[in-house]
Amino acid sequence: MSGAELDAALLEELRLRSRLNALVHERAEAVREAEKLDARATLAGADAELPEVAGRWRAVAERVTREIEEHRTALRSQEAVVARLRAPREPT
């Protein structure tokens, strides 16, 4: 194992965790926006297009959910890479 290889693997894992944090926040905002527009759409005089706009935010949330799962899968793989690089070598 080279130190540089391990450092690169560790950095990639940190990048994935950071990106997952950002994506979970992004999905939460999309869900909140959709819920807010759904509620506004029930008010008297509400614009008829609000439910459709809310639907677009829900679509964003679904897309981000898929992206989260892709990144989580990548994180699991990266964890395995790091674990292999950090494990002691078997005696030859």
23/73 Cα distance (integer angstroms): 14
Q: Which residues of 59-91 are buried (b: 16+ CB within 10 A; e: fewer)?
A: ebbeebeeebeebeebbeebeebeeebeeeeee
**Under the criterion CB under 8 A, does residue 74 sit at the interface with other proteins?**
no
Listed residue (76, 40, 79, 74) closest to 57, CA to CA: 40
Comparison of 53 and 61: residue with beta carbon closer to other proteins: 61
Write down the least CB distance from residue 51 to other proteins, Å: 19
| Of residues 52-71, those binding other proteins (CB under 8 A) | 61, 68
User: Exactly one of 1, 25, 39, 70 binds other proteins (CB under 8 A); which one?
Assistant: 25
* Binding stretches for other proteins (CB under 8 A): 10, 13-14, 17-18, 20-21, 24-25, 27-28, 31-32, 61, 68, 72, 75, 79, 82, 86
